[in-house]
Chains A and B, each alone.
Chain A
Amino acid sequence: MFPLGETRCAAELVLPIATFVLVLSTVRAVALLYPESRWTPYATAAFLCVFPAALSQSRIYLFEWPFAASVAATCWAMLATDRFTNFPRSLVFGIAAGITALVRAGGPALLTGPCLVYAAVALREAPRGRKALNLGIAAAAGVAVAATWYLPNLTTFLEYIHQVTYGDQASLFAGGSSAFSWDNALYTFQWYWVDGAGIPAAALMLAAYATACAMERRWILSARMGALFVAFAIVFVAVIAVAQRAGGVLLLAIMGIQSLAVVRAVAIVPRPAARGGFALAAALLAIHHLYAMTFGFAVGRDRSEGTGPFPTFPLWNHRNLYVGVAGPARQEKALGEWMSQIVDRIEALPVAKETIDRPVQVCFNADNPIFQLHTLRIEATLRHHNWHGIQLFWLPLEAARKRQAELQERVLLMDVLVNRTTKPPSEYDKVVAIITGPLVEGASRRFTQVGEPVRFPNGDEYTIYQRIPDSSSPSKPR
């Protein structure tokens, strides 16, 4: 962003860079696992890149895609340590693991499986002492790098994880009162495939494997693939324990294992004609994903559906992530300009005079994908303001009533309050009304309305309030 300016394009440049890192790391990591197979690394990387989850995430400015690239690079670094006999490379691996842990909160969960399995394999053979020492130094380096963020933010991070997986928000984000459940395990495994290679590719993999076994007249059991499955199982359990329901995307970083499993199932078919047929079918499935996600139709399902394996089992998910997130708002013109009006109004408020040490505190409550807290922060930061924002989070109404006093305390720290209202009110609007209503209405109100609400083209109204300076009686609205 420094050389290219404060533009969205400069920020989004991270996506193709991540694609490059992911593809290169996958190729090199698989080449270290299967040195005897010349094309397995390339087929694995290419197949992985056209998974619906990969295509979605590589086109939207989120951390999942850079995180997947970072995990792949760490796995490459780990496999390059030659079972932890090479000290400099072990150190590089440790630092890479630390950086990966920082790319995404909870990132270490995705590294547990590959690291534990590889360490177990490495330590089975001599020289165990040297390997253990290198591994220990690598782990210490990783922890030191990761600690720069995790230590100061540990309480907040754990609070958040608990809240969305076992706390008040679990029913909204984890599909029940506890994330660690059989239902969630089924859901996540199903979507690992639906958002990944797709169910037809899974069937193709099984058919190719069965064909190979039949032709060879024996069960083909690969120690390397077995180790990868164990690594996947460990990660799967770790993710289930701390994850929200977000389709298969949380496992995107280890979808390389899925891609490799399909590629190897085809590669071990002994007869060239049969192998060619399976390879062609896999290639067609890959092209079909690429076409559907780029030029085709934005089909797909709501991720809250299809939690059981049958009968609502989708074959693949070609849902366009942006269309799904932005919804009808994407059809409207020049929406960005409207946020400027709100920033203009806040700028003019007497309470909005920030200093270097004290940012202006803004609570912006709206569940519109485009007109929300972060869009306001972008506009304010581009205008060189030092504003700090929060947004009340999504809660069931009952939980909002229960936590009213606690959340009101947080709102009372704000200088400015912006509430969105829709007609009819959304569930989120009701949560905001429960918490902020008593603060903006009535004799004991603590915020006063500023001017008329800003009306947006979609009919939504954004009402701005400013904090009443500490006094015994509230001032009247202007």
Chain B
Amino acid sequence: MRVPNPASLRFAVLFSLAASAILAVLWQSAAAREGSRGQPLTWDSAGFFADALVIKRCIEGDGLRGFWHAWVHVSPTTPRSCRRSPHS
């Protein structure tokens, strides 16, 4: 079997896939040790997950228009705690 040239894109992709897989396995091992797997998401992580769910609902409910609305008004780039209510 020919070993790809390190300068090639193919080699870079294989290297990146291998690195991602190894880091993912180590992540899962660490998550089991620290206890994060058994608990709900915390702080901003929970916020991003909630926003992802809301954006999905918007797309399901209103298609492209829903996506646009969610993109502008739900997108969580700014911490939500400082955002004004849409009725303010």
Footprint of B on A, CB under 8 Å? 1-2, 6, 8, 11, 15-17, 19-20, 23-24, 27-28, 31, 35, 38-39, 41-42, 45-46, 49, 55, 58-63, 102, 104-105, 148-149, 152-153, 156-157, 159-160, 163, 290, 293-295, 298, 320, 322-323, 325-326, 329-333, 335-336, 339, 361, 369-370, 372-375, 377-378, 381-382, 384, 388-393, 410, 413-414
Residues of the B chain whose Cβ atoms lie less than 8 Å from the Cβ of A390: 80-81, 83, 85
Are B27 and A375 in contact, with the CB atoms below 8 A? Answer: no
In contact, A410 and B6 (Cβ under 8 angstroms): no
Given A27-B16, A28-B12; A290-B53 close (CB under 8 Å): no
The answer on a CB contact under 8 Å between A290 and B85 is no
Using known A-B contacts A42-B15, A149-B75, determine if residue A20 contacts B20 with beta carbons closer than 8 Å: yes
Q: Find B23's partner among A49, A370, A374, A389 (CB 8 Å cutoff).
A: A49
Closest 6 CB pairs between A and B? A374-B46, A377-B50, A374-B47, A24-B16, A105-B77, A23-B16
CB–CB A413/B87 < 8 A: yes
Q: Which residue of A lies closest to B44 (CB)?
A: A62
Asked, given contacts A20-B20, A322-B42, whether A15 binds B27 with beta carbons under 8 Å apart, the answer is yes
- Chain B 6-29 per-residue mask, 1 if CB under 8 angstroms from chain A, else 0: 110100110111011101101101
Tally of B interface residues using CB under 8 Å: 56
Q: Within the assembled complex, what's the spacing in Å between the Cα atoms of A61 and B41?
A: 8
Q: How far in angstroms is the closest Cβ of chain A from B28?
A: 9
Given contacts A361-B85, A381-B54, A381-B57, contact A160 B78 (CB under 8 A): yes
Q: A335 — which chain B residues lie within 8 A by C-beta?
A: 39-40
**Interface contact A20-B27, CB-CB below 8 Å:** no
Residue of A6, A59, A384, A392 touching B27 (CB-CB under 8 A): A59
Most buried by A among B21, B81, B86, B87: B81
Interface residue B1 (Cβ < 8 Å from any Cβ of A): no
Contact B45 A24 (CB under 8 A): no
In the bound assembly, the distance between CA atoms of A456 and B47 in angstroms comes to 21
Tell yes or no: B64 within 8 A of A by CB: no
Within 8 A of A (CB), among B41-88: 41-50, 52-54, 56-57, 71-73, 75, 77-88
Which of these, A23, A160, A295, A375, contacts B46 with CB under 8 Å?
A375
Q: Within 8 Å CB of B85, what residues of A?
A: 361, 388, 390, 410, 413-414
What are 18 sample pairs from A and B whose C-beta atoms fall under 8 A apart? A11-B49, A35-B7, A41-B12, A59-B27, A60-B45, A63-B48, A148-B71, A156-B78, A160-B78, A294-B29, A295-B29, A326-B42, A331-B35, A370-B46, A381-B53, A384-B57, A390-B80, A410-B84
B17 to chain A, nearest CB (A): 6
Chain B's closest residue to A382 (CB) is B53
Q: Is the CB of B39 within 8 A of A336?
A: yes
Q: Which of A27, A39, A41 has its CB near the most chain B CB atoms (within 10 A)?
A: A27
Nearest opposing residue in chain A for B50, CB measure: A377
Instruction: Tell me whether B27 and A45 are in contact (CB under 8 A).
Output: no
Q: Contacting A375 at CB < 8 Å: which of B6, B40, B75, B84?
A: B40
- A332 CB contacts on chain B under 8 angstroms: 39
Q: Which A residues are in CB contact (< 8 Å) with B86?
A: 388
The yes or no answer to B2 lying at the interface (CB within 8 A) is no
A23 and B82 contacting across the interface, CB-CB below 8 Å: no
> B residues within 8 A CB of A42?
6, 15
- A389 closest partner in B (C-beta): B80
CB < 8 Å neighbour of A59 from B31, B52, B56, B72: B31
Contact partner, A23, options B19, B80, B84, Cβ 8 Å: B19
Q: How far is the CB of B42 from chain A (nearest CB, A)?
A: 4
CB distance from A3 to the nearest CB of B (A): 12
Given contacts A59-B30, A59-B31, contact A369 B42 (CB under 8 A): yes
Within 8 Å CB of B87, what residues of A?
361, 413
Residue of A nearest to B12 (CB): A27
Chain A residues with CB under 8 Å of B49's CB are: 8, 11, 61, 374, 378
Within the complex, what minimum Cβ distance (angstroms) separates A474 from chain B? Answer: 22
In-complex Cβ contact of B48 among A6, A61, A157, A320 (8 A): A61
CB distance from B85 to the nearest CB of A (A): 5
Q: How far is the CA of A377 from the CA of B17 in the complex (A)?
A: 35
- The answer to whether B41 and A23 have CB atoms under 8 Å apart is no
The reply to whether A330 and B44 contact each other, CB–CB distance below 8 Å, is no
Structural contact, B78 and A153, CB atoms closer than 8 A: yes
Residue numbers in A under 8 Å from B78 (CB-CB):
105, 153, 156-157, 160
Chain A residues whose C-beta falls within 8 Å of the C-beta of B36 in the assembled complex = 60, 322, 326, 330
Inter-chain contacts of A24 with B (CB < 8 A): 12-13, 16
Contact B41 A160, beta carbon cutoff 8 Å? no
Q: Are A62 and B52 in contact, CB atoms less than 8 angstroms apart?
A: no
User: Are B40 and A159 interface neighbours, CB within 8 A?
Assistant: no
- Contact: B39 with A377, CB < 8 Å? no
With both chains docked as a complex, state the minimum distance between the C-beta of B70 and any C-beta of chain A, in angstroms: 11
Q: Find chain A residues with CB under 8 A from B82 CB.
A: 156, 159-160, 163, 393
CA separation between A172 and B75, bound complex, in Å?
Answer: 25
Min Cβ gap B21→A in Å is 8
Given A322-B31, A374-B44, A374-B47, 17 more pairs with CB closer than 8 A? A19-B23, A19-B24, A27-B16, A39-B6, A45-B19, A61-B45, A149-B75, A294-B26, A294-B30, A322-B35, A329-B42, A330-B35, A335-B39, A374-B49, A378-B41, A389-B80, A390-B85
